[in-house]
Amino acid sequence: MSISIRLATLLFSLSLHALIQAPLAHADEPPAAAAAILAPTSTPAPATLEFAIIKTSEVRTLEGLSYSGGSYFTSTRLQHIALLVRHPQGNFLFDSGLGKNIDAQFKDMPLWARPFFSYGPVSPARAQLDAAGYTSIPRIFLSHAHWDHASALVDFPQAEVWLSEQEKAYLASPHAVSVFPSQVAPPSIRWHSYAWQTRPWLGFARSLDIFGDGSAVLLPLPGHTPGSVGLLLTLAAGKQYFFIGDTVWKSQALAEQKPKMWLASALVDDDKAQTMDAIAAIHRLQQTHPQLVVVSAHDAAIHDGIGYFPHFVK
């Protein structure tokens, strides 16, 4: 979730009541955690994994609104994306981007909060995938359940929607600004949750290897929400990409180990200290693995360098 440029005109007149969250209807309780997601191959081997970034919307804002220390005189682009992963054992989405019903869903946001958030013209992932012949998406994994990542879940009624047990618990309590009932409450959503494996991976104490071959590994990044996760993808040639959700909105925040702007963090980060721990962990990983490409969910400059669906990174 990113802060709109309209916030710049409101910063100096913001009153304290704007930080109080209104009650929100609870989402349906997801089912019990599953022991495994996909059956691993009998002999793990480098997989022919490919991925593509699906751009669903873009908005301009001020750099200073995207991270602490950014310039209030520099404009920057933020995006809402879904990630399509292709693997011999099956395809999946990581996050869903903004969906075809976002205008109606956005009415779930409290009136006082709407001036702080916005989005541009929407090109839903469902429409882009249908046009390219991807009529069936069997699974969606969420980095976290905020409105700009879960908007299109209802566009994929056939998909299993997977989230961490911690994020499942997060959905059980109200989060007026960030979680919309219209997105997470429909009974058509096929919720599943997973528990972490006590298997260290790149400095993280726990992980979940989706296919059992090391090509797509979920890693815990609590802070922005209690159950936020990142997705580490390893291509057949060995190059790695780490999709980190909303731990930061801009890559400069990682380089400088800076949090989101104070108001943005107050509105959208569940635990600022844990978020800073996650930033520090990713920064350390970048130092020890300089070839690793770290991808924030909203940083258009990073996305531009990778390219967009129907282009696949192989």
pLDDT of 116: 87
Tell me if 17 is assigned to some domain.
no
pLDDT in tens, 173-232: 889 999 999 999 999 999 999 999 999 999 999 999 999 999 999 999 999 999 999 999
Nearest to 146 by CA among 129, 163, 160: 163
* pLDDT (mean) for 274-303: 97
Residue 313 forms beta bridges with which residues? 51
Laid out side by side, the sheet with 50-62 consists of 33-34, 190-194, 160-164, 139-141, 92-96, 75-86, 50-62
Q: Which residue has the tokens 């309780």?
A: 29
What is the band of 10 on the pLDDT scale with cuts at 50, 70, 90?
very low
What gap in Å lies between CA 139 and CA 289, rounded to an integer? 29
* pLDDT (mean) for 25-38: 43
What gap in Å lies between CA 100 and CA 122, rounded to an integer? 8
152 or 20: which leads in pLDDT: 152
Q: Tell me which residue range forms the domain holding 86.
A: 45-306
Tell me if 123 is assigned to some domain.
yes
**Side-chain-facing half-sphere of 230: CA atoms under 13 Å:** 30
Query: Is 50 exceeded by the pLDDT of residue 50?
Result: yes
**Comparing 34-38, 94-98, 146-150, which segment has the lowest mean pLDDT?**
34-38
Query: Is 50 exceeded by the pLDDT of residue 19?
Result: no
Average pLDDT, the chain: 89
Tell me if 276 is assigned to some domain.
yes
Q: What is the 8-class DSSP label of residue 153?
A: G
Query: Is 60 exceeded by the pLDDT of residue 147?
Result: yes
Strands 139-141 and 92-96: parallel
Which CATH number fits the domain that encloses residue 173?
3.60.15.10
**Side-chain-facing half-sphere of 149: CA atoms under 13 Å:** 28
Tell me if 206 is assigned to some domain.
yes
Q: Which two tokens stand for residue 184?
A: 């997470």
115 or 153: which leads in pLDDT: 153
The percent of residues in the chain predicted with pLDDT above 90, rounded, is 83
| CB 222, CB 27: distance < 8 Å | no
Tell me if 21 is assigned to some domain.
no
Q: What is the 8-class DSSP label of residue 43?
A: S
Tell me if 22 is assigned to some domain.
no
pLDDT of 8: 44
Query: Is 70 exceeded by the pLDDT of residue 38?
Result: no
Nearest to 298 by CA among 232, 265, 250: 250
The DSSP line for 196-259 is PBS--BTTBS-BEESSSSSSEEEEE-TTSSTT-EEEEEE-TTS-EEEE-TTS-SSHHHHHHT--
Query: Is 50 exceeded by the pLDDT of residue 170?
Result: yes
Tell me if 314 is assigned to some domain.
no
Domain count, the chain: 1
What is the band of 115 on the pLDDT scale with cuts at 50, 70, 90?
confident
Tell me if 29 is assigned to some domain.
no
